[in-house]
Chains A and B, each alone.
Chain A
Amino acid sequence: MLSFKPIKPLLQTGTKASSRWLSYIGLGAGVLLLLVSVQMFINLDQLLHKVDTRKNGFDFISISKKINDENQTIKSVFTSREIDELKSKPFVDGVAPLIANEFRVHISAQGIFGTDLFLETLENEFIDTVPSSFRWTQEQMIDPLIISSDFLEAYNVFAPGNNLPQMSSETASRLPILIECSGQGKEITFQGRIVAFSDRINSVLVPKSFLDWANQTLGQATEHGATRLFIKTKDANNPNFLSYLDQNNYLVNKDKTRLGRTKQTLQAVFSGLGIFGLLVVVMALMLFSFYLQLLIARSRDSLQLLLLLGYSPNWLSKNVSRQFIPVYIFIVLAALAITQLLQWAFHHTVMYDRPELTSTINWIVIVIAVGLILLSIVTNYRLVRKLLYKLY
């Protein structure tokens, strides 16, 4: 086996190693910046994909029509044509109208409170919490209700000040509620029971069969239409989806998309940092290539003589460039280790060990690190080979 050991002293590395060290440091900084940016990009993705209230990987948002001075005389309901159009969009996976009561409703509970309220209904598929008891038939005098968990929260806030008992969701579920419905000169009273709380809906939901029947029996309206629509979508932050809503003057629950907008901004920041890191890596590789050219220029006589003696230019290129592989591997591995340390610290201290994130770096970051090692080895080898062939 041909040994490179006697050849090594023939390479004049020069007395000044500063340009070499500068390129090592630059390479390390660039690689670190790149790896950390990629990891943060992935962190954001994991973090912000999972905080949305999702059902089977979908976002559910409600939209209504914007009411302004020009159109407030017109009834702002969605027409069936508008609903069909929404349904046909690629970014919409389902549309369901929120149907409201068309009669008067008064709700009271054992003298604790009493209020006029509205009822809504929505297809079960769109509700996050649907117990099996959420059903109604005409023979039934007890009507199941799903109420917004915000209502319970609000009640518990004002209850102590009004000398009322605070309630857990279990207590609230056991509370007998009277629902007095009136319209068309008729009055019917039902017993209501809260069967679930929803985080997604900010009103009182009843089974569709109940509201259909009650609207028909007690309702005054001749035409039916939904003032609110529930949309099922894979990504509520899809820019195409958002701009479509804006164009049609549809109002969307801003809270649902704010997170997405923050995510977009932060990801743009980290993309920028990542690109900057990549640039630094490229610059460092270029600086290193200057150093290599200098090395070969300084060792020109020795290398030429080696070629003259019958050393293969391929073998020499491989071995000259191989000298730097350990340094490259060390630099990239060090950057990878620091990235791992930062990720652990970020997860542990800033993110309080949130389950959405992991303390270990993502496999993509490792793949990129390996890719960088290969890239630097290949570019080096090609450069040395080119320079040596010129000496021939």
Chain B
Amino acid sequence: MRARRNSSLLALAASLHAWAQAPAPSSAEPASVEGMVTHAVSGAPVVRAHVLLRGTARDAKTYGAITTAEGTFAISGIPPGNYYATVDRVGFFMPALPGGRNSVQLSLKAKDKKEDLKLQLAPLGSISGRVVDAKGDPVEGATVTPDTGQGANGQAREVSDDQGRFRLAGLTPGKYRVKAANTTLSSLPSLPEIRTDGTVEVRYVPTYYGGVTDFKSATRVELGTGAEVNGIEIAMVRLPHVRISGRVQGVPAETRVALIFGQVNGGSRSSSGIRKDGTFEVWDIDPGKYVLSAGWTAGDQRVQTSPFEIEIGESHIDRLELRVVPPSDLAGSILFEDEAARPPTPKQGAQQGQAPNMPQGPQGPGMAANRGPRIELRAVDPAIMMVQNSGLSSDVGPEGGFQLKGVAAARYGVTLTWPNAWVKSISLGSQTVEGNVVNLRDGSGGAALTVLVSSAFGTISGKVSDASGPVAGARVVLVSEDWISTGDNSMTVTEETGVYKFPRVRPGKYRIAAIEAGDSAPFMGVLDDYEDIFARVDVRPKDQLTKDLKRHAPIR
């Protein structure tokens, strides 16, 4: 899931990239930088703040300083070049700068003496409250986290004490969904307790502030800069014990099987509760929608059962049958609706959407710089995504032919590596489905895959403004209405004039909104916070839509 978000943020990274790569003039005369760090709210100087200048050139060094009692700092002996300046101090954060940037960019020439670098720090806030049970009694040992839809948010995480109290410290301003999960002894993965004393084991499920168990319905806590919000009481929801049981077919003897409960909204839970006869019984999975799949390793092959959708609530789900659908070898072809949808003939080093400046693993940089056009399949079944990290891809031949081998049974999103075309429809044999998702949960049945692609994108542009006029550096997200299936979203940032543009939009239905800087929920398809300002757009081929957008006043 994180990858989806990152891909949207890459646009921003790429725009900074050109600047970062500007060659450093080679001169021996060093430069110096002086300046001051002030409190973003009070304007007072901040003492013992840590200022960093990070060189952007390869092998460039990083220079640091600590502010004095007057909030000033001085760094000398800096080789000329481009630098990012940041500041940090415990209990503070550096507010985003105009344009959404998180650092000040400096170009230092030989002998430059910059004396007025102004940096700001804003105080972090906290959310405090209590966790209680159905009777209002304190719950000790519940883990409380701010949930942004992408799992935990940084270090803020606390276990409630014997009064049920918690404090989540170190939060930047924003709207938070606060979640409490019972992590005490009773939450060990186990079958419900066998009791002979007539008492009943109580089950509490992870609960959001607002007394609900799902992310979308949670009440959001608004936190201003450096604010301390108190009195957030989370009443844990009590549910009956719930059993999920069934059988996994075709498991070889002596094989360890993992059951994967993949969640559409991110998280997943894995359980190895499979008996020797292939039956399983799992208890007390948190309520919600899941895609269930069992997986194991046979030789060096990873085998998974065909993904199965279940919704876990308050009743047992029994007699599930999980079966293996053999992987498919797909022969396919791409049909070009128009000539302009064809991949550009490879020139020197086609950019395949390669992220610039990405850190490289120990295996060295990607060797794929000069690859030709490719078609990629990315599993959109979350249970499958868990085990099959890398997607599948194939070269596309000059006539549009491709071959995909060993495609596990699942639903896939189909994407192209050349930017001038989008996937309009996909046919598996004689079945045609609009859009870029192909359902291979039952395998391909030997049928060929035909992918119709088009160059007729739409565009969306407009201006973002708030109460005081156009907003520069505002983030605009475009989220597909079919987000759950496709995970499609894009992000752009407004120019100085408040204008944004999505130049290539795959036709379809979308919601579009100007969002707050630190908000990641939209990248999970959740635009609830923007119900009053988002717009719905239906983009048809070659449409050139204009949508002016309003932005909320930022939380201060």
**A and B held together in a complex:** no
Listed in ascending order, the chain B residues whose CB lies under 8 Å from chain A are none
Listed in ascending order, the chain A residues whose CB lies under 8 Å from chain B are none
